[in-house]
Structure 1
């Protein structure tokens, strides 16, 4: 079977995004609701770019859960949402600096997505996946931590490439040391890891990008992709590193930019039929890396030019146009 589906699992929530930049959260008067949650953003990015994606999560049996399901449908994602009365759908309030960078306040004590259980994830949701993607937010608490790791291991057993985003959000964890240990402990499960410069420094006690990538590769992943914001990204395998410059834009809101980057990357890897066994060789080939990472960089950059995460995701035509390529 020629697999192309990117299966994502994790948090799905409402981002309340301010209508103006440059105000601290306490002074924001007007917010607009937008669908969010890092792995959900990835799934939506893949779909908006013309790929096939499925998203697995738990939401409240409430109006926001209804809204999120509809938002995923509209983005082209296959949503597999378990509904619950145990907790409400999670919320995040965002404030934006003048440069589009963000501060967050989360309402998750608990949120519905934290209550996903492994028995609610059926094998048929994983067996056709070319890629399985998850992040660290779903590792914070039980039962979702066990459910997430169970799904990743089952997806690997079915032959999927495993993609992992450490996505450090320290305000959600009980303490930094626990967060670091749990996040690093899952690196051996991954084939591909997307990580930021700041996350490398946190996870490896001040390590720079090169040292952090080396340490992660030693733990088992085949490829590390370090994102550098406007400067682009750097790709590391045991065969060396390749830098790919960013795509210039005027940012308004950086929410979801890293997730959009991941979506662009995973979409192209799935299209190319790159599985776990081919990943290291493919991501050591400079022409291939420049092609797929330029696409991912453009996808992430364009997402920053509009407010919100899923509402801001570009189409394939918009991404290719930004790169001066034909559709």
Structure 2
């Protein structure tokens, strides 16, 4: 891979089986949606016009083949989406309540995504990108945990900006303390990160988003975003912080909202031709407003990847609001 991509995203890609009511026999119906936070971020960036690459592992099964094809059809570089005949593609079963919030149950014992090894990965995929992005689900099991740390070290040595979205899923960890230790272990290594307001205490011991952002910045990241649900997002850097209001939207499914938000932020950062520590707070506020619009459009539809908007749809949404 010779051409530099906007982002290389590493981690899980999986099937979200999302509850969609019952049939005439009262049996639960689940719709098959492609998902997984790092893959979702890739799709968000691609639909906005960016050039993402994905590193991960799926099983050599019907689910893995479907997932790889979805990314290929989106125009995402998948030459490092590895198919392994020895492990099954991870599955997630998602129940959505009346408010659109999600409850997860995973089939991952182990899932193929946890079995990726550094020696399987082409270093150029990380070296030839503007931003390397990862989450925390790759930290739940070995060998993916060690691979995550090795890829971050490679990115840092190559002068690549490092993005991190912890994305806490309690059922994938043996206990909360292990999750806290592992999720916090990456914070000093990254340049830009996102958490949700619900994850503030897990990552910083602070429940207030402003205090949590301050605590994270003190550990090394140059830019921190904290999503606040329907209230929008807080964006912070060394110059201060601002809460950027969200947009009202009829919620069908919140799955993928945070990933679409973060994909939009990373897309804009990759295209602004400035180092992270040179981007002023006014510009970050503009980026956050755009990312809030992307998330507002995403929650209107079911599924994560199928719901991601295009740049044209986001532009039309914002133009209509500004009239």
**Same topology, TM > 0.5:** yes
Aligned-partner Cα distance in 2 for 1:77–1:200:
32
RMSD, matched Cα? 1.7
After TM superposition, the score normalised by the length of structure 2 is 0.94
Residue number in structure 1 paired with 2:129: 129
Moved over 6 A (4+): none
Residue number in structure 1 paired with 2:55: 56
Aligned-partner Cα distance in 2 for 1:310–1:234:
24
Residue number in structure 2 paired with 1:45: 44
Gaps of 5+ in 1: none
Residue number in structure 1 paired with 2:19: 18
Kindly tell me the number of residue pairs found equivalent between the two proteins. Answer: 316
Aligned residue for 2:236, secondary structure, equals: strand
Aligned-partner Cα distance in 2 for 1:290–1:75:
29
- Counterparts of 1:1-327 in structure 2, within 5 Å, are 3-20=4-21, 29-79=28-78, 80-274=80-274, 278-282=275-279, 284-286=280-282, 288-324=283-319
- Cα pair 1:5 1:128 within 8 Å, conserved: no
- Cα pair 1:4 1:271 within 8 Å, conserved: no
Cα drift, residue 48 of structure 1: 1.0
Cα drift, residue 127 of structure 1: 1.6
- Cα pair 1:28 1:95 within 8 Å, conserved: no
Q: 1:128 to 1:146 in 2, by over 3 A?
A: same
1:261-290 superposed Cα distances (whole Å, 9 cap, x missing partner): 01000011111123xxx21331x331x123
After TM superposition, the score normalised by the length of structure 1 is 0.93
Aligned-partner Cα distance in 2 for 1:40–1:58:
11
1:82-126 superposed Cα distances (whole Å, 9 cap, x missing partner): 111221000001111112111111000100000000111111111
Aligned residue for 1:19, secondary structure, equals: strand
Aligned-partner Cα distance in 2 for 1:166–1:108:
18
Gaps of 5+ in 2: none
